[in-house]
Structure 1
Amino acid sequence: MTSKPYLTGHYTPVADEITATALTVEGTLPPELTGRLIRNSHNPKPGVTPTHWFKGSGMVHGIRLRDGRAEWYRNRWVHTPALDGAPYMTEHGPDLTASTAGTHVIEHGGRLLALCEANLPFELTRDLDTVGAYDFNGKLTSAMTAHPKEDPVTGELHFFASSPFPPYLIHHVASADGHVLTSQEVPGASAALKHDFAITEHHVVFLEGTVTFDPNEHSGIPYGWNDAQTSRIGVMPRGEGRAAEVRWFEIGQGYAMHLANAYEDAHGRIVVEGPAVGRAGWQRSWNWWVGAPDRGAEPNSGSRSRRWSIDLTAGRVSEEDTDDLVVEFPTINDAFVGREHRYQYALAFPDDLGIGNHTLVKYDRATGARQLRPVGTGQLPSEAVFVASADGADEDGGYLLTVVSDLNADASRLLVLDASDLTLPPVATVHLPRRVPAMIHGSWIPDADLA
């Protein structure tokens, strides 16, 4: 029996790659759901026990929908050198191709890219086979964040490289068709862990929390909580050559793994939202990730919704907790990335003592209301991916796609939910041929977006 929590329960890896066709559908799949839901997470090969959950090899799971049918499910390891044991650190320095490629998967410029923040992206075919490391035609010589942001107006892709050694932070922008336009070092950054970031219409926003490089951490992920590390928000104007204008603002201790969104409000303030943890919550999660004895019942312990408002004129930041649920994996309608959004979705976890079930949550930021969608005991939904309906004039006019791991039945299903009202019965349910392990991030990719 393994003592590693990330190899048990909902997180138990699958041991093989399969393809299943003509999946059973209950209800009616909307015709606009023509494309692929592709999700990614860590799934070490049989016999491999990684020292940290984040060190497990990446595996993508895809569900193909078209014309009201669920045509296939398939899962594939991302075949990087690390899958076969190649080390990240070599005598010549880091090998950017030795990636787990297990954090996220996106489409940009007609390419499917599996991402892990310490490495180059890996390109996949539309059937999820591995093409190889992708460096934007030689223009990318650094790692790439697993959380790039695509501007819904310009189509540009913003992403960054973060390192525990100088240069600590490099910001990149790629054109809508996938060519790197600018790369610039961001001054004033530190060795603090930067996992996610945000864009607004006119700015790029970086967060440095109270977690920084720790050479004494031997799990393979060399970071740890450090009270001496100042938490900060960096605000940089968008545009070539603007990095020198970045401004750093001190904030309270904490760490935000994922951000929901950022935008410029009617008063010119920059508002940033996302779950954040304090010291105790971070340590419980870290202990879960490495399999230490003193750990929480779930990862993301103590992670609660937070809002930072940055007044550039006054040079100050106000911050507040906005909800008391333990939540993570915030998402929105991506048409509102960088612009003010009304609705926000998240996955609620059992509380800090492990009491309660996993639940999908919808927040209405205009009214302050929240709506819960329980899935049942022993069931874990994935991060909710929003897909607009064909006539979705409203911000929440569309569907939420989530893959539910069900330990009771040792099975999984894809739920298609009405994003405007989570209390309604599912629009459709797709039964998958196996229990899909708990996953991290993924994307809905319409057929029209693939080259």
Structure 2
Amino acid sequence: MTADKPYLTGHYTPVADEITATELTVEGALPPELNGLLLRNGHNPKPGVTPTHWFKGSGMVHGVRLCEGRAAWYRNRWVHTPALQGAPYMTELGPDLTASTAGTHVIEHAGRLLALCEANVPFEITPELETVGAHDFGGKLRTAMTAHPKEDPVTGELHFFGSSPFPPHLVYYVADAKGEIVHSSEVPGATAALKHDFALTRRHVVFVEGNVTFDPAESSGIPYGWSDRQPARIGVMPRGDDGARHTRWFSIEPGNMLHTANAYEDGRGRVVLEGPTVDREGFLLSWNWWVGAPGRGTEPVARSYTRRWVVDLDAGTVDEQIIDDLPVEFPTLNEEYLGSENRYQYAISFPDEKGFGGYGVVKYDRTTGARRIHQAGDARMPGEAVFLPAAGATREDDGYLLTVVSDLKQDASHLLVLDASGLDRIATVHLPHRVSAGLHGSWIPSTGPDDTEA
């Protein structure tokens, strides 16, 4: 590993081994209703491996089991895909969709735990984080799968897509609550632009194409780059079996968005979409960091600001504005409000391109415009904050935020539990070693007493 690769140093230094630890030390009092498993995924190359891009590091899943006020265990495991053993993505027969890093996200649907990477098919893992194997939904998944599927909180359906730089550029899927794909359709009008995330409303599916698109000349192994010629657009597709042929695309200002915060229809039927975006300069700062090129910023999201788009389907217009000047990423919310109008959103704050500002967990009140920050502290970097509703919750923000924090001064990590209402600290779970800064994760509630022990 070399010092010129920022994604292999500091908070991002890979973990070198797999361990299991039980009965973790807890400061404060864990809420007794937190019975389940917190999973967090991220890129973590094996010792001796130096990937050419942060996104090409092999996936490692970290898990913390909470049970009746205890932190029963921690364990971490690489996702054992062909890529972990060096198998190439591109072969003489085309891409091998099983040669995955499986390092972007980890979710549960219909009783399966799936580690995800958008260029590949999912990999199933066990609750003990051991790898089961590639999962293609019984052969019905014919493409790669986004790392950001959306589970409808009303129907239990899983909505997702497969994106490719080659036609068909965009295929939309729906799996029912039992995990069976019941619908797939090609989305007309899509281009080779990068589509990392999307949004779901009660009536529509919302896709975003920014200025980052397929670039065969890119040498990092991730063949994408900024193009001023690629139009930035929002695609709005009605939900339902016949929705794809009614997809409409709307031009927006140049930029690129990796993660949506939420989308919904307002009282006038307009589609409202929010999420952090970067401009051209912000993307180049991030890209240079991701590949270890000269000119990289202090952080890969140093110019990532929350933007709101309001799509008026009747008028055929889009109103957009930056609604906050704080660099943030990894937006989350109480997922019971996914697809509906939400008052509260959460995110992680980062230093700006000059190194000013610090890491923290941010709460936005979309009704009042207020912003609250829980400062992480010097040399402490929190990861994506997962929202868990409190027992008997009556308010949208009545719950907890769980985030894994990397602490460089202590060369350690801890699981931080915050009150989602005021961002006050409730408990800290000390982990047995430092967890490298990663990407996304999920909370998996316990289904019975048998899944709470090591």
TM bin, normalised by shorter chain, reads over 0.9
Cα deviations across residues 220-279 of structure 1 (Å, max 9, x unaligned)?
100000000000000000011220000000000000010000000011100000000000
Distance in 1 between residues matched to 2:234 and 2:382, nearest whole Å:
31
Q: Look up the SS of the partner of 1:275 in the other structure.
A: strand
Per the alignment, residue 357 of structure 1 pairs with: 358
RMSD between aligned alpha carbons? 1.0
Distance in 2 between residues matched to 1:232 and 1:220, nearest whole Å:
26
Cα deviations across residues 321-352 of structure 1 (Å, max 9, x unaligned)?
00000010000000001000000000010011
Instruction: Note if contact 1:403-1:412 (Cα within 8 Å) is conserved in structure 2.
Output: yes
Per the alignment, residue 399 of structure 2 pairs with: 398
Cα deviations across residues 349-383 of structure 1 (Å, max 9, x unaligned)?
00111122111100000110000100111110011
Distance in 2 between residues matched to 1:375 and 1:186, nearest whole Å:
42
Per the alignment, residue 28 of structure 1 pairs with: 29
Q: Give the 5 Å matches for 1:171-190.
A: 171-190=172-191
Residue identity in the other structure for 1:37: L
Q: Look up the SS of the partner of 1:283 in the other structure.
A: helix
Q: Look up the SS of the partner of 2:185 in the other structure.
A: strand
Q: Look up the SS of the partner of 1:286 in the other structure.
A: helix
Per the alignment, residue 75 of structure 1 pairs with: 76
Per the alignment, residue 324 of structure 1 pairs with: 325
Distance in 2 between residues matched to 1:418 and 1:431, nearest whole Å:
18
Q: Give the 5 Å matches for 1:183-222.
A: 183-222=184-223
Shift of 1:18: 0.2
Per the alignment, residue 61 of structure 1 pairs with: 62
Shift of 1:84: 0.2
Per the alignment, residue 267 of structure 1 pairs with: 268
Distance in 1 between residues matched to 2:102 and 2:346, nearest whole Å:
25
Instruction: Note if contact 1:282-1:301 (Cα within 8 Å) is conserved in structure 2.
Output: no
**Structure 1 unmatched runs, 5+:** none
Per the alignment, residue 347 of structure 1 pairs with: 348
Q: Look up the SS of the partner of 1:380 in the other structure.
A: strand
Distance in 2 between residues matched to 1:253 and 1:182, nearest whole Å:
32
Per the alignment, residue 439 of structure 2 pairs with: 440
Shift of 1:190: 0.2
Residue identity in the other structure for 1:300: V
Give TM-score, length-normalised by structure 2: 0.98
Per the alignment, residue 426 of structure 2 pairs with: 427
Q: Look up the SS of the partner of 1:427 in the other structure.
A: strand
Per the alignment, residue 151 of structure 1 pairs with: 152
Give TM-score, length-normalised by structure 1: 0.99
Q: Look up the SS of the partner of 1:412 in the other structure.
A: strand
Distance in 2 between residues matched to 1:56 and 1:216, nearest whole Å:
21
Per the alignment, residue 368 of structure 1 pairs with: 369
Per the alignment, residue 126 of structure 1 pairs with: 127
Distance in 2 between residues matched to 1:35 and 1:144, nearest whole Å:
26
Residue identity in the other structure for 2:313: L
Residue identity in the other structure for 2:405: V
Distance in 2 between residues matched to 1:447 and 1:114, nearest whole Å:
19
Asked if 1:384 is matched to 2:385, the reply is: yes
Distance in 1 between residues matched to 2:353 and 2:385, nearest whole Å:
22
Distance in 2 between residues matched to 1:432 and 1:205, nearest whole Å:
38
Shift of 1:301: 1.9
What is the number of residues matched between the two proteins? 449
Q: Flag as ranges the 4+ runs of structure 1 deviating above 6 A.
A: none
Q: Look up the SS of the partner of 2:281 in the other structure.
A: helix
Shift of 1:26: 1.2
Per the alignment, residue 312 of structure 2 pairs with: 311
Q: Give the 5 Å matches for 1:85-164.
A: 85-164=86-165
Distance in 1 between residues matched to 2:107 and 2:156, nearest whole Å:
14
Distance in 1 between residues matched to 2:242 and 2:84, nearest whole Å:
38
Per the alignment, residue 300 of structure 1 pairs with: 301
Distance in 2 between residues matched to 1:170 and 1:269, nearest whole Å:
24
Residue identity in the other structure for 1:140: L
Shift of 1:67: 1.1
